[in-house]
Protein backbone atom coordinates (compact mmCIF):
# COMPACT_ATOMS: atom_id res chain seq x y z
CA UNK A 1 0.00 0.00 0.00
CA UNK A 2 1.40 3.38 -1.04
CA UNK A 3 1.25 6.32 1.31
CA UNK A 4 1.78 10.02 0.56
CA UNK A 5 5.21 11.27 1.53
CA UNK A 6 5.29 13.35 4.71
CA UNK A 7 5.11 17.06 4.01
CA UNK A 8 7.07 19.11 6.52
CA UNK A 9 5.38 22.48 6.26
CA UNK A 10 8.28 24.61 7.47
CA UNK A 11 12.01 24.36 7.99
CA UNK A 12 12.92 22.83 11.33
CA UNK A 13 16.12 24.06 12.91
CA UNK A 14 18.54 21.33 13.90
CA UNK A 15 17.50 19.99 17.29
CA UNK A 16 19.61 17.56 19.27
CA UNK A 17 17.71 14.46 20.28
CA UNK A 18 19.47 14.65 23.63
CA UNK A 19 18.02 18.11 24.36
CA UNK A 20 15.17 18.19 26.86
CA UNK A 21 11.98 19.45 25.23
CA UNK A 22 9.31 21.38 27.10
CA UNK A 23 6.51 19.11 25.85
CA UNK A 24 6.46 15.39 25.15
CA UNK A 25 3.78 13.88 22.91
CA UNK A 26 3.38 10.12 23.06
CA UNK A 27 1.55 8.59 20.11
CA UNK A 28 0.83 4.85 20.48
CA UNK A 29 -0.28 3.10 17.31
CA UNK A 30 -1.17 -0.32 15.96
CA UNK A 31 -2.03 -0.77 12.27
CA UNK A 32 -2.97 2.87 11.90
CA UNK A 33 -1.67 3.67 8.43
CA UNK A 34 -5.05 4.95 7.19
CA UNK A 35 -4.90 8.15 9.28
CA UNK A 36 -1.42 8.19 10.81
CA UNK A 37 0.13 10.60 8.32
CA UNK A 38 -2.58 13.20 9.02
CA UNK A 39 -2.18 12.78 12.78
CA UNK A 40 1.61 13.20 12.73
CA UNK A 41 1.50 16.10 10.29
CA UNK A 42 -0.98 17.99 12.47
CA UNK A 43 1.49 17.68 15.37
CA UNK A 44 4.45 18.85 13.31
CA UNK A 45 2.40 21.82 12.10
CA UNK A 46 1.98 23.18 15.64
CA UNK A 47 2.82 26.85 16.09
CA UNK A 48 4.50 25.88 19.38
CA UNK A 49 7.48 23.74 18.41
CA UNK A 50 9.42 22.97 21.61
CA UNK A 51 8.29 19.36 21.77
CA UNK A 52 9.31 15.79 21.10
CA UNK A 53 7.06 13.24 19.40
CA UNK A 54 7.38 9.63 20.55
CA UNK A 55 5.88 7.11 18.13
CA UNK A 56 5.25 3.75 19.83
CA UNK A 57 4.46 1.10 17.24
CA UNK A 58 2.78 -1.97 18.73
CA UNK A 59 4.21 -4.44 16.16
CA UNK A 60 2.02 -3.16 13.32
CA UNK A 61 1.64 -5.34 10.23
CA UNK A 62 0.45 -2.64 7.80
CA UNK A 63 2.28 0.43 6.51
CA UNK A 64 2.64 2.05 9.94
CA UNK A 65 6.35 1.30 10.31
CA UNK A 66 7.18 2.83 6.94
CA UNK A 67 5.25 6.01 7.73
CA UNK A 68 6.90 6.38 11.14
CA UNK A 69 10.40 5.87 9.80
CA UNK A 70 9.86 8.40 7.01
CA UNK A 71 8.78 11.08 9.46
CA UNK A 72 11.57 10.24 11.92
CA UNK A 73 14.16 10.76 9.17
CA UNK A 74 12.74 14.18 8.32
CA UNK A 75 12.33 15.67 11.80
CA UNK A 76 14.82 15.28 14.69
CA UNK A 77 12.07 15.85 17.26
CA UNK A 78 10.61 12.42 16.45
CA UNK A 79 11.64 9.20 18.17
CA UNK A 80 10.34 5.92 16.79
CA UNK A 81 9.99 2.85 19.02
CA UNK A 82 8.77 -0.46 17.60
CA UNK A 83 7.83 -3.40 19.82
CA UNK A 84 8.70 -6.93 18.76
CA UNK A 85 5.20 -8.10 19.65
CA UNK A 86 1.82 -6.56 20.41
CA UNK A 87 1.85 -5.57 24.08
CA UNK A 88 -1.77 -4.46 24.12
CA UNK A 89 -3.07 -0.91 23.86
CA UNK A 90 -2.72 -0.10 27.58
CA UNK A 91 0.95 -1.12 27.78
CA UNK A 92 1.70 0.79 24.58
CA UNK A 93 0.09 3.95 25.96
CA UNK A 94 2.08 3.60 29.16
CA UNK A 95 5.33 2.98 27.29
CA UNK A 96 4.79 6.20 25.34
CA UNK A 97 4.56 8.06 28.66
CA UNK A 98 7.58 6.31 30.17
CA UNK A 99 9.71 7.53 27.25
CA UNK A 100 8.67 11.16 27.79
CA UNK A 101 11.18 13.75 29.01
CA UNK A 102 9.24 17.01 28.85
CA UNK A 103 7.75 19.07 31.66
CA UNK A 104 4.34 18.61 30.05
CA UNK A 105 2.97 15.46 28.47
CA UNK A 106 0.23 14.71 25.98
CA UNK A 107 -1.05 11.45 24.53
CA UNK A 108 -1.93 11.49 20.86
CA UNK A 109 -4.04 9.08 18.83
CA UNK A 110 -3.13 7.84 15.38
CA UNK A 111 -6.52 8.87 13.93
CA UNK A 112 -7.05 12.27 15.59
CA UNK A 113 -5.69 15.66 14.55
CA UNK A 114 -4.90 18.97 16.25
CA UNK A 115 -5.52 22.58 15.35
CA UNK A 116 -2.12 24.28 14.74
CA UNK A 117 -2.52 26.34 17.94
CA UNK A 118 -3.46 23.48 20.26
CA UNK A 119 -0.11 23.25 22.02
CA UNK A 120 0.42 27.01 22.16
CA UNK A 121 -2.87 27.57 24.00
CA UNK A 122 -2.42 24.59 26.33
CA UNK A 123 1.18 25.42 27.28
CA UNK A 124 0.22 29.03 27.95
CA UNK A 125 -2.68 27.91 30.17
CA UNK A 126 -0.53 25.61 32.32
CA UNK A 127 2.25 28.19 32.55
CA UNK A 128 -0.25 30.78 33.79
CA UNK A 129 -1.93 28.41 36.27
CA UNK A 130 0.74 26.55 38.26
CA UNK A 131 -1.85 24.89 40.52
CA UNK A 132 -3.59 23.23 37.56
CA UNK A 133 -2.32 19.88 36.35
CA UNK A 134 -4.32 19.35 33.14
CA UNK A 135 -5.70 21.49 30.35
CA UNK A 136 -7.84 20.41 27.41
CA UNK A 137 -9.98 22.05 24.74
CA UNK A 138 -13.38 21.67 23.19
CA UNK A 139 -13.63 18.76 20.77
CA UNK A 140 -14.60 18.74 17.11
CA UNK A 141 -15.96 15.36 16.02
CA UNK A 142 -14.93 14.40 12.48
CA UNK A 143 -15.65 11.41 10.27
CA UNK A 144 -13.26 9.20 8.30
CA UNK A 145 -12.99 11.92 5.62
CA UNK A 146 -12.19 14.66 8.12
CA UNK A 147 -15.62 16.30 7.79
CA UNK A 148 -17.01 17.84 10.96
CA UNK A 149 -20.00 15.95 12.32
CA UNK A 150 -20.50 17.74 15.63
CA UNK A 151 -18.96 19.23 18.75
CA UNK A 152 -18.45 17.75 22.21
CA UNK A 153 -17.44 19.09 25.59
CA UNK A 154 -16.45 16.75 28.42
CA UNK A 155 -17.41 18.21 31.80
CA UNK A 156 -14.13 17.59 33.59
CA UNK A 157 -12.58 21.01 34.22
CA UNK A 158 -12.78 22.26 37.79
CA UNK A 159 -10.91 24.91 39.76
CA UNK A 160 -12.39 23.77 43.05
CA UNK A 161 -9.99 23.27 45.95
CA UNK A 162 -12.12 20.30 47.08
CA UNK A 163 -10.89 16.97 45.56
CA UNK A 164 -14.25 15.26 46.16
CA UNK A 165 -16.06 18.06 44.34
CA UNK A 166 -13.66 17.76 41.39
CA UNK A 167 -14.27 14.00 41.26
CA UNK A 168 -18.03 14.53 41.43
CA UNK A 169 -17.85 16.95 38.49
CA UNK A 170 -16.37 14.15 36.42
CA UNK A 171 -18.36 11.15 37.66
CA UNK A 172 -21.76 12.84 37.40
CA UNK A 173 -21.23 13.71 33.73
CA UNK A 174 -23.16 11.05 31.74
CA UNK A 175 -21.96 11.70 28.18
CA UNK A 176 -18.21 11.45 28.64
CA UNK A 177 -15.92 10.58 25.75
CA UNK A 178 -12.84 10.92 27.99
CA UNK A 179 -11.32 13.47 25.61
CA UNK A 180 -9.47 15.25 28.46
CA UNK A 181 -7.09 12.26 28.56
CA UNK A 182 -5.71 13.70 25.30
CA UNK A 183 -5.12 17.08 26.91
CA UNK A 184 -1.81 18.49 28.13
CA UNK A 185 -0.78 17.17 31.56
CA UNK A 186 2.03 17.93 33.96
CA UNK A 187 4.32 14.93 33.59
CA UNK A 188 5.32 14.92 37.26
CA UNK A 189 1.67 14.55 38.29
CA UNK A 190 0.99 11.85 35.69
CA UNK A 191 3.98 9.91 37.04
CA UNK A 192 2.18 9.59 40.40
CA UNK A 193 -0.88 7.93 38.89
CA UNK A 194 -1.82 4.34 38.10
CA UNK A 195 -1.48 5.24 34.38
CA UNK A 196 -3.61 3.39 31.85
CA UNK A 197 -5.14 0.14 33.11
CA UNK A 198 -5.86 -3.02 31.10
CA UNK A 199 -9.64 -2.88 31.44
CA UNK A 200 -12.56 -1.09 29.84
CA UNK A 201 -13.06 2.41 31.21
CA UNK A 202 -9.48 2.72 32.47
CA UNK A 203 -9.19 6.18 30.91
CA UNK A 204 -12.13 7.40 32.98
CA UNK A 205 -10.53 6.07 36.17
CA UNK A 206 -7.22 7.72 35.28
CA UNK A 207 -9.00 11.04 34.78
CA UNK A 208 -10.71 10.51 38.12
CA UNK A 209 -7.33 10.17 39.80
CA UNK A 210 -6.07 13.31 38.07
CA UNK A 211 -9.19 15.13 39.28
CA UNK A 212 -8.33 14.10 42.85
CA UNK A 213 -4.76 15.29 42.42
CA UNK A 214 -5.40 18.77 41.10
CA UNK A 215 -7.44 21.37 39.25
CA UNK A 216 -7.95 21.42 35.49
CA UNK A 217 -8.88 23.93 32.82
CA UNK A 218 -10.86 23.71 29.60
CA UNK A 219 -9.98 26.13 26.82
CA UNK A 220 -13.20 27.18 25.14
CA UNK A 221 -11.84 26.73 21.64
CA UNK A 222 -12.41 23.69 19.37
CA UNK A 223 -8.75 22.74 18.93
CA UNK A 224 -8.91 18.94 19.26
CA UNK A 225 -10.32 16.94 16.35
CA UNK A 226 -11.47 13.45 17.28
CA UNK A 227 -12.14 11.09 14.43
CA UNK A 228 -15.17 8.79 14.77
CA UNK A 229 -14.95 5.97 12.21
CA UNK A 230 -15.78 2.25 11.92
CA UNK A 231 -12.27 1.16 12.94
CA UNK A 232 -12.07 2.92 16.31
CA UNK A 233 -11.43 0.49 19.15
CA UNK A 234 -14.96 0.44 20.57
CA UNK A 235 -16.52 -0.31 17.16
CA UNK A 236 -13.83 -2.61 15.78
CA UNK A 237 -14.01 -4.66 19.01
CA UNK A 238 -17.77 -4.82 19.59
CA UNK A 239 -17.89 -7.02 22.68
CA UNK A 240 -16.32 -7.36 26.11
CA UNK A 241 -13.85 -10.09 25.30
CA UNK A 242 -12.52 -8.58 22.08
CA UNK A 243 -12.10 -5.14 23.60
CA UNK A 244 -10.31 -6.64 26.60
CA UNK A 245 -7.96 -8.43 24.20
CA UNK A 246 -7.30 -5.08 22.48
CA UNK A 247 -6.34 -3.55 25.85
CA UNK A 248 -4.11 -6.43 26.96
CA UNK A 249 -2.79 -7.93 23.72
CA UNK A 250 -3.83 -11.37 24.99
CA UNK A 251 -6.82 -13.54 24.21
CA UNK A 252 -9.42 -13.04 26.90
CA UNK A 253 -11.87 -15.56 28.32
CA UNK A 254 -14.38 -15.45 31.12
CA UNK A 255 -16.49 -12.66 32.57
CA UNK A 256 -15.61 -8.99 32.71
CA UNK A 257 -17.68 -6.70 34.89
CA UNK A 258 -16.87 -3.30 33.40
CA UNK A 259 -18.70 -1.00 35.78
CA UNK A 260 -18.02 -3.00 38.93
CA UNK A 261 -14.34 -3.13 37.98
CA UNK A 262 -14.39 0.65 37.64
CA UNK A 263 -15.91 0.99 41.11
CA UNK A 264 -13.09 -1.09 42.60
CA UNK A 265 -10.51 0.93 40.69
CA UNK A 266 -12.02 4.27 41.71
CA UNK A 267 -12.01 3.21 45.36
CA UNK A 268 -8.42 2.04 44.98
CA UNK A 269 -7.46 5.42 43.55
CA UNK A 270 -9.13 7.21 46.46
CA UNK A 271 -7.09 5.07 48.86
CA UNK A 272 -3.77 5.66 47.14
CA UNK A 273 -3.85 9.45 46.46
CA UNK A 274 -1.48 10.56 49.19
CA UNK A 275 -2.61 14.21 49.27
CA UNK A 276 -6.15 13.42 50.44
CA UNK A 277 -7.06 14.14 54.05
CA UNK A 278 -9.11 11.53 55.93
CA UNK A 279 -12.18 13.71 55.44
CA UNK A 280 -11.45 14.17 51.74
CA UNK A 281 -10.95 10.43 51.37
CA UNK A 282 -14.34 9.59 52.89
CA UNK A 283 -16.11 12.29 50.87
CA UNK A 284 -14.51 10.96 47.70
CA UNK A 285 -15.68 7.43 48.54
CA UNK A 286 -19.18 8.85 49.02
CA UNK A 287 -18.97 10.34 45.52
CA UNK A 288 -18.12 6.91 44.08
CA UNK A 289 -21.00 5.22 45.92
CA UNK A 290 -23.33 8.02 44.81
CA UNK A 291 -22.30 7.27 41.22
CA UNK A 292 -23.21 3.60 41.72
CA UNK A 293 -26.63 4.55 43.09
CA UNK A 294 -27.29 6.96 40.23
CA UNK A 295 -26.48 4.23 37.68
CA UNK A 296 -27.91 1.33 39.70
CA UNK A 297 -29.84 -0.07 36.74
CA UNK A 298 -26.60 -0.38 34.73
CA UNK A 299 -24.81 -2.03 37.63
CA UNK A 300 -27.67 -4.46 38.23
CA UNK A 301 -27.80 -5.31 34.54
CA UNK A 302 -24.12 -6.19 34.63
CA UNK A 303 -24.78 -8.73 37.37
CA UNK A 304 -26.69 -10.71 34.74
CA UNK A 305 -23.44 -11.37 32.87
CA UNK A 306 -23.10 -14.88 34.36
CA UNK A 307 -26.28 -15.70 32.41
CA UNK A 308 -25.52 -13.87 29.16
CA UNK A 309 -22.27 -12.89 27.45
CA UNK A 310 -22.51 -10.83 24.27
CA UNK A 311 -26.18 -11.77 23.96
CA UNK A 312 -25.48 -15.52 24.03
CA UNK A 313 -26.61 -17.96 26.71
CA UNK A 314 -23.79 -19.12 28.97
CA UNK A 315 -23.45 -22.71 30.25
CA UNK A 316 -24.95 -21.51 33.55
CA UNK A 317 -28.02 -20.15 31.78
CA UNK A 318 -28.38 -23.37 29.75
CA UNK A 319 -28.09 -25.47 32.91
CA UNK A 320 -30.69 -23.35 34.71
CA UNK A 321 -33.09 -23.69 31.75
CA UNK A 322 -32.62 -27.46 31.64
CA UNK A 323 -33.24 -27.72 35.38
CA UNK A 324 -36.38 -25.63 34.98
CA UNK A 325 -37.66 -27.90 32.18
CA UNK A 326 -36.89 -31.01 34.23
CA UNK A 327 -38.76 -29.61 37.21
CA UNK A 328 -41.74 -28.66 35.02
CA UNK A 329 -41.84 -32.14 33.43
CA UNK A 330 -41.65 -33.78 36.82
CA UNK A 331 -44.47 -31.62 38.19
CA UNK A 332 -46.65 -32.35 35.13
CA UNK A 333 -46.05 -36.11 35.55
CA UNK A 334 -47.13 -36.00 39.20
CA UNK A 335 -50.31 -34.14 38.26
CA UNK A 336 -51.19 -36.84 35.66
CA UNK A 337 -50.59 -39.64 38.17
CA UNK A 338 -52.82 -37.98 40.72
pLDDT of residue 116: 98
Residue 126 has pLDDT above 80, yes or no: yes
**Confidence grade of residue 6 (pLDDT, cut at 50, 70, 90):** low
pLDDT of residue 323: 62
Q: 224: which residues sit within 8 A by CB, 6+ positions away? A: 112, 114, 115, 118, 136, 137, 138, 139, 140, 179, 182, 183
- For 201-241, write each residue's pLDDT tens digit: 899 999 999 999 999 999 999 999 999 877 766 545 555 55
pLDDT of residue 299: 85
**Confidence grade of residue 175 (pLDDT, cut at 50, 70, 90):** confident
**Confidence grade of residue 57 (pLDDT, cut at 50, 70, 90):** very high
**Confidence grade of residue 306 (pLDDT, cut at 50, 70, 90):** low
CB 17: neighbour CB atoms within 10 A? Answer: 10
Q: 17: which residues sit within 8 A by CB, 6+ positions away? A: 76, 79
- pTM listed for this prediction: 0.83
Longest dimension (CA), the chain: 97
pLDDT of residue 15: 44
Amino acid sequence: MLHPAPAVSRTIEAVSKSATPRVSIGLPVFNGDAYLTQAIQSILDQSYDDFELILCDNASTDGTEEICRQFAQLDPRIRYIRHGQNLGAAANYNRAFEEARGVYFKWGAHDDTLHPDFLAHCVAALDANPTCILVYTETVLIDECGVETGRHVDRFASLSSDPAERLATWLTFPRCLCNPVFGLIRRAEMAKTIRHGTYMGADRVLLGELALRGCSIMIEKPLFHRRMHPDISTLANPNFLKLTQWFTGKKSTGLRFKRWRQVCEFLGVVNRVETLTWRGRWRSRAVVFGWVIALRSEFLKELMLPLYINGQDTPLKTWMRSRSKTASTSAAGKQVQS
